Amino acid sequence: MSTATIGKKIPDLELTITGDKTIRLTDFLGKPVVLYFYPKASTPGCTQEGLDFKESIAKFRRQSAVILGASRDKIKAQENFKAKQGFPFELISDPEEALCKAFDVIKMKNMYGKQVLGIERSTFLIDSDGILRQEWRKVKVKGHVDEVLEAVKALKKS
């Protein structure tokens, strides 16, 4: 399987999203896509990141951008997370880690003094032609959404 690389077309995988639908990232050709990965639904940092995207959704939509959140959580956990927080965008369920591996976001992390494999909070900006244009890794939640929005605006201008 190919790995997402800046300047190249993204891998075209079949994905399960909230609303019990199946999509491919190529379904969004013609619009920029913000794909953000978070470690676990309904945890404090992941909730705040989702709420930050929710708060700025109108600004992203003015740029015709689509926002998709992704984690290894099963679809039921994603559905509950989306409903509880009122997210106006879809969440991807990736328990088999196909999407996570394609974007190389599974990393060794320290969890309560133990080494565990988990999602490294990351965001990817895909242009309207399906080309990966920018990536943010080891994301700190505070201020991140504003930075991504600026990158979307810059992409629209270029």
Note if 100 is an active site residue.
no
Catalytic residue of the set 46, 99, 119, 145: 46
Tokens (6 digits) for 105: 């976001």
Residues that are catalytic:
46
